Structure 1
Amino acid sequence: MQSQPNIVIPTLINAFNAGDFLFVINTLKKNGALVRVGPVVSQLHGSALRKIGKLDEAVKVFEKGLKLFPQSTDLMNSYGNLFLDKMQSEKAILWFTKALKIKPNGFDYRYNLARAFYAAKRYGEAEKQCHQLLTTQPNKNTVLLLMASILVEDHRDDVAERYLKQLLGIEPQNVKALNNLGNIKRKNSQFDEAISLYKQALSTGNPTAELFQNLAAVLALKGSMNEAFATYKEGIRLFPTSVSLHKEYAHLAWVQNLETPFSYLEANLSINNPDLILAYTEFMIRVEEYDKAKLWLEKLIEAKLPTYQIAVAASLSNTLRELGYFEKALATVSVKASNPTLETLPLLIEKSYSLLSLKRYKEAVKALELVCRISPLNQGYWTLLSTAYKANGDEAKYNQLCDYQRFVSVQPLLGNEDTNTKFINILKAHLNTLHNNEKHPIGQSLRNGSQTFENLLDSAHPVIKELKTSIEARAKSFLSTLTKEKKHPFLSRLSQDIDFIGSWSVRLRQKGFHKSHYHSEGWLSGVLYVDVPAEVKTSGNGWLVFGRPDISGVEMPEDFAVKPKEGNIAFFPSYMWHGTNPIVTDEQRLTVAFDIVPDKTS
């Protein structure tokens, strides 16, 4: 195509709007001089690269465009959206703010700035931007939806409901508003109201995979398993490529112990649906069907799909490592892991795992120190680094991260022994009503036991609300005994403003245990012992053990253990390897576990 701007640029715009992103990219590679015609060229090129997942290349295109056209607010806006895709919300905030300084009335720029603040969990600032937008367009549906989402994250469900009802007063059939209001009802255990809202949204004639997924999940929570499965199946029939629908159906079928939990996924597997293949192979890895995972991952490798190369290579390396092919696992990622970025980080992590499996500990230390510099907030990377230090004999560095005497706290939940015992007995009775599954969840650490759905501590049940308050008080008490250290992954983030990001109850029975694991998204983790079998008094059965990694080819003994006691709560950094010794009797071991992070909204 000749580089005549008045012909080429409209053609590129039409191609972009039609989703032909490769045409846009290839045309502009052949017509490089077009970049000087105007900012729209860089905007099209960078946005097309963003759409196919080549985010690092898109960064370079936007940077070049902004050097040529430093006052282009639309280019700044597109660049900010790219950083949102890269989950670099602070950089997105910077570019949306720059655009607004030039054009203070840019509605889209301010809306995207609110989205960026929301992504950064800076909810107060996000809410402020939305208020400003609503002064000019008080009934703008996208802003009302975003405002409600902000308020939900800020634990102000009642106010969020008002905004959603305002939107539904204007647009009674707004599917997103009905869905999001249903989500609030679901969160607050108002299952009948949630079901009614989801069904109303489905009746609009604009069904979405998310609606079927949410309706089925609430039906399952209510105990209506037959209707839940029927809803999942109908959703999969209408949306056969929906990854989330397939994953939730498979998970429920697994925990309910159905014979073929992955049958619907397997029936829809095709090289034309790589996302489904990745979901399926993730399941196969987690249920230890490694040969099935290897078969499909090798097909994806052969397909050479640009957007999926990193994810596929990392998963194949993981699979090969679990099969014991450590050298092959390393070869799968070693060449691709040079000059790592956030995008290529999964390859470097898999390389680090393989180096540990091959007992090449010094190389593993070097690789994992780089990983932790690139992504310091992921606690799982510090877990691996601590393992590398321990294996390499770097005792001082290992102890700095895993000072068990200092960082593991065990204490009664409530100060008064009688009060504590009475509360634990009430809690036990309630938790026992929540454990209705036949099998452990896919991909979780427990074996021969059950785990509750949803975030337990979000429940409006009075005993759970009291539990949450008590755990928070104990956590703050423990944190107040520690001193901040600037470069330490745990101590550098010390705060009395904390938030729960996950909570659940686990019930173990005969031969039940937790594999060693860590919580990559947490910061401070904990477990409350609600019911403890008598066997914990002898032989270490059911004890919580620290420092024993679960990595193929790596054998290390535990370094520290906690003996469970009813009413006691244990806190520890989320990056510490922890698991349990099996129990052998049929008495239950009932716990509440949770993850806490510093609250960025404060």
Structure 2
Amino acid sequence: MDVNAQIANGLAALRRRDLKRAEASFQQVLLHAPQQAQALHFMGAVRQLEGKHGEAEQFFRHATDAAPTDAGAHNSLGSLLSTLGRNKEALASFDAALKADPTLKQARSNRALVLQRLGRHAEALEELQGVTPVTASVLNSRGLSLKECGRLAEAEKAFGDAVAIQPDHFRARHNLGNLLCTDGRAREAIPHYREAVRLAPKVADLRFAFATALYDVGDMAGADQEFRTAIALKPDHTDAHEALNRLYWQHGKRDLHGKSYQVALKAAPMSAPLYAAFARTLEMAGRNTDALAVVEEGLRMLAPTPELVHRRARLRMVAGDEQGGLADYAAAIKLAGDGAATISLDRAKALTRLGRYGEALEDLARAEAALPYDQELWAYRGLCWRLLGDAREAWLNNYDAFVQPCLIDVPVGYSNREAFLQELRDVLLALHDKSAQPIDQSLRGGTQTNGALLNRKEPVIAALRASLSRAVERYIAALPDDPTHPFLSRKSDGFTFSGSWSVLLRGDGFHVNHVHPKGWISSAFYVGVPDTTGGTPHAGAIKFGESGAGLGPDRETVARRIQPQAGMLVLFPSYMWHGTEAFTGPAIRITTPFDVLPA
């Protein structure tokens, strides 16, 4: 038998997707030469196209064993493993391919994509520098890693160049839109999203991103339509559901709140994430009985999943079913296995409310390995330490040293602080176009803006960002060094704004006590404050130390209060419990809080 001719016939059939004829050719070779590497390799390709991934992997591995220097077989194995989400194994296969043949461009490109999926974007950029020719896809990949490395101007150019080379590359247009939105330029992003949608109208994530941009520029009707289109394309698109229902809540369409989930569950009745997201939305709206009914329905339809059992645990605890709730927490942790950190953290919160502080600390310790910088974890640890009389609470919180108020510098171009604040106030008022507070945030009796406020391009907001940056730099520089402290150990020479927004509170408005789970340094900057003289003591003050854990007044204490004034910035650790005292009267209070992460 002519092995080469037989393999050539099989390859020709494989290219035509005539899988039966291809398999017959390769099997004929393997019948006479079971270790023939090329036949093993191409049989793997046949099985992969048939969706038989387990068999495909076996053939690819037999091929690499038979011919360890066959770069193509290593590359094929890596591609399969990457498709299956086994990226670390895929990376090893691409490394083996490039060791066998450093000129194999496909393996280099594939290796860069896997590095991106692993979050190793600096390495991905190095790999992509060697990929030729420089196609639109290569430029798009470069743009993704440049963005993740914080090199936004270079990323924008890469995406723009990709679109220039290939105008119908909808992914590059999509990514360019995402970058522009990240940079506070949603209005510029919309034409790119619109063209990408024309090119690829059935991509749910694209529709979701387009909807988010429309929402950011105030086109509520357009956002509503695009969110619903994303859900129609992918009924279990939980991000689209949550955004759509947030829109309804904030704009007073309470009759529509939650309806999208009901419709979607008819199309995707076996989606555990959809049941869990629906229950979460109802829980945030205070509809705990309805939320529990949704979870129970999900558990009737499906085998128990960590997310559904976890959600039921929360709801049972709220309903006063301590025994059932704790049993569900234990079951959810067992089901989640190595992914139980967030459930352990949540159970620690429940145990804290029950006064079982030692057990709560044990759960927090278990969660810390996976969530070392979760600010809620440290907030609850400090709370348990205080309630146990543990001196480490003072070391952790140190309110006098870590809570720092100051007046910001007058920005360049303004004659005085008052003129700057008045211009800023006018710009911010135009952004508060909603009728209610976000359903998932801490404010009560007010509204909150969308998007990253400090990324907006209005000159007065750019001036605000510059003044705030100088204040944060001084705050960080004054912090002591302590590598053992969860706040001080993250001190670095640089920082980034990880979130920024504006809050408007009306009379009787306030913030419930809370922390910022994903931050490092958090803040309140006061643009305008109401006159609280003659009101109740501490009206309008920001307070620290009193938790939002639902402990009751006998277990709470306010460690420090600060009475704000216009132009004041207050900086503090993100894990520190804080809230506000309500104020009365017709005046409004406008702030621009933000979070900071170390560079």
Distance change (3 Å), C-alpha of 1:107 and 1:277: farther
Following TM superposition, by how much is the alpha carbon of 1:401 offset from its aligned partner in structure 2, in angstroms? 1.1
Aligned with residue 417 of structure 2, among 420, 429, 439: 420
Structure-1 separation of matches of 2:57 and 2:189 = 51
Aligned amino acid, residue 275 of structure 1: P
Distance change (3 Å), C-alpha of 1:147 and 1:425: same
Q: What do residues 148-188 of structure 1 show as CA deviations (whole Å, max 9, x unaligned)?
A: 12333445444323322322233221111122222344445
Q: What do residues 491-548 of structure 1 show as CA deviations (whole Å, max 9, x unaligned)?
A: 1110121011111011111221111111111111111011111117751122211222
Deviates more, 1:234-243 or 1:378-387: 234-243
Partner of 2:523: 526
Aligned amino acid, residue 374 of structure 2: N
8 Å CA contact retained: 1:484, 1:493? no
Aligned with residue 173 of structure 2, among 171, 175, 178: 178
Query: Does residue 293 of structure 2 align to residue 295 of structure 1?
Result: yes
Distance change (3 Å), C-alpha of 1:465 and 1:118: farther
Q: Give the secondary-structure state (helix, strand or coil) at the position aligned to 2:497.
A: strand
Partner of 1:280: 278
Q: Give the secondary-structure state (helix, strand or coil) at the position aligned to 1:411.
A: strand
Structure-2 separation of matches of 1:435 and 1:480 = 34
Partner of 1:350: 346
Structure-1 separation of matches of 2:118 and 2:576 = 26
Partner of 1:504: 501
Q: Give the secondary-structure state (helix, strand or coil) at the position aligned to 1:269.
A: helix
Following TM superposition, by how much is the alpha carbon of 1:411 offset from its aligned partner in structure 2, in angstroms? 0.5
8 Å CA contact retained: 1:40, 1:75? no
Query: Does residue 492 of structure 2 align to residue 491 of structure 1?
Result: no
Distance change (3 Å), C-alpha of 1:200 and 1:79: closer
Deviates more, 1:478-487 or 1:94-103: 94-103
Aligned amino acid, residue 286 of structure 2: E
C-alpha root-mean-square deviation of aligned residues, in Å? 3.7
Runs of 5+ consecutive residues of structure 1 not aligned to the other structure: 29-33, 44-70, 86-90
Partner of 1:316: 312
Aligned with residue 438 of structure 1, among 421, 429, 435: 435
Structural mapping, 1:54-73, within 5 Å: none
Structure-2 separation of matches of 1:333 and 1:170 = 53
Structural mapping, 1:75-224, within 5 Å: 99=96, 102-103=99-100, 104-105=102-103, 107=105, 110-111=108-109, 114=112, 124-133=122-131, 136-139=132-135, 141=137, 143-188=138-183, 190-224=185-219
Distance change (3 Å), C-alpha of 1:101 and 1:556: farther
Structural mapping, 1:239-388, within 5 Å: 239-258=234-253, 259-270=255-266, 271-305=269-303, 309-337=305-333, 342-388=338-384
Deviates more, 1:568-577 or 1:241-250: 241-250
Following TM superposition, by how much is the alpha carbon of 1:597 offset from its aligned partner in structure 2, in angstroms? 0.7
Structure-1 separation of matches of 2:528 and 2:190 = 33
Aligned amino acid, residue 158 of structure 2: Y
Structure-2 separation of matches of 1:172 and 1:328 = 57
8 Å CA contact retained: 1:337, 1:347? yes
Following TM superposition, by how much is the alpha carbon of 1:412 offset from its aligned partner in structure 2, in angstroms? 0.6
Structure-2 separation of matches of 1:226 and 1:114 = 40
Q: What do residues 396-425 of structure 1 show as CA deviations (whole Å, max 9, x unaligned)?
A: 111111111111111111169973333222
Partner of 2:560: 560
CA radius of gyration, larger in: 2
Q: Give the secondary-structure state (helix, strand or coil) at the position aligned to 1:561.
A: strand
Q: Give the secondary-structure state (helix, strand or coil) at the position aligned to 2:242.
A: helix
Distance change (3 Å), C-alpha of 1:176 and 1:37: closer
Structure-1 separation of matches of 2:161 and 2:197 = 20
Q: Give the secondary-structure state (helix, strand or coil) at the position aligned to 1:433.
A: helix
Distance change (3 Å), C-alpha of 1:458 and 1:96: farther
Aligned amino acid, residue 349 of structure 2: Y
Partner of 2:400: 405
8 Å CA contact retained: 1:84, 1:116? no
Aligned amino acid, residue 286 of structure 1: M
Query: Does residue 536 of structure 2 align to residue 541 of structure 1?
Result: no
Following TM superposition, by how much is the alpha carbon of 1:331 offset from its aligned partner in structure 2, in angstroms? 1.0
Q: Give the secondary-structure state (helix, strand or coil) at the position aligned to 2:416.
A: helix
Following TM superposition, by how much is the alpha carbon of 1:76 offset from its aligned partner in structure 2, in angstroms? 7.7
Following TM superposition, by how much is the alpha carbon of 1:144 offset from its aligned partner in structure 2, in angstroms? 1.6
Aligned amino acid, residue 152 of structure 1: K
Partner of 2:446: 449
Query: Does residue 596 of structure 2 align to residue 596 of structure 1?
Result: yes
Structure-2 separation of matches of 1:274 and 1:176 = 29
8 Å CA contact retained: 2:310, 2:332? no
Distance change (3 Å), C-alpha of 1:522 and 1:138: same
Q: How high is the TM-score relative to the length of structure 2? A: 0.81
Q: Give the secondary-structure state (helix, strand or coil) at the position aligned to 1:510.
A: strand
Distance change (3 Å), C-alpha of 1:119 and 1:468: farther
Distance change (3 Å), C-alpha of 1:130 and 1:10: closer
Deviates more, 1:119-128 or 1:527-536: 119-128
Following TM superposition, by how much is the alpha carbon of 1:571 offset from its aligned partner in structure 2, in angstroms? 0.7
Distance change (3 Å), C-alpha of 1:392 and 1:12: farther
8 Å CA contact retained: 1:80, 1:96? no
Distance change (3 Å), C-alpha of 1:223 and 1:260: same
Query: Does residue 546 of structure 2 align to residue 551 of structure 1?
Result: no
Following TM superposition, by how much is the alpha carbon of 1:281 offset from its aligned partner in structure 2, in angstroms? 1.3
Structure-2 separation of matches of 1:211 and 1:329 = 39
Structure-2 separation of matches of 1:11 and 1:79 = 16
Following TM superposition, by how much is the alpha carbon of 1:222 offset from its aligned partner in structure 2, in angstroms? 2.8
Aligned identity (percent) is 26
Q: What do residues 288-323 of structure 1 show as CA deviations (whole Å, max 9, x unaligned)?
A: 2111221122233344547xx222222221222222
Structure-1 separation of matches of 2:499 and 2:93 = 31
Structure-2 separation of matches of 1:83 and 1:303 = 27
Structure-2 separation of matches of 1:428 and 1:509 = 15
Partner of 1:570: 570
Structure-2 separation of matches of 1:221 and 1:476 = 29
8 Å CA contact retained: 1:445, 1:515? yes
Aligned with residue 389 of structure 1, among 385, 390, 402: 385
Distance change (3 Å), C-alpha of 1:514 and 1:105: farther
Structure-1 separation of matches of 2:523 and 2:397 = 16
Structure-2 separation of matches of 1:38 and 1:157 = 40
8 Å CA contact retained: 1:254, 1:261? yes
Distance change (3 Å), C-alpha of 1:252 and 1:84: farther
8 Å CA contact retained: 1:118, 1:126? yes
8 Å CA contact retained: 1:337, 1:351? no
Distance change (3 Å), C-alpha of 1:174 and 1:482: same
Q: How high is the TM-score relative to the length of structure 1? A: 0.81
Following TM superposition, by how much is the alpha carbon of 1:237 offset from its aligned partner in structure 2, in angstroms? 3.5
Partner of 1:584: 584
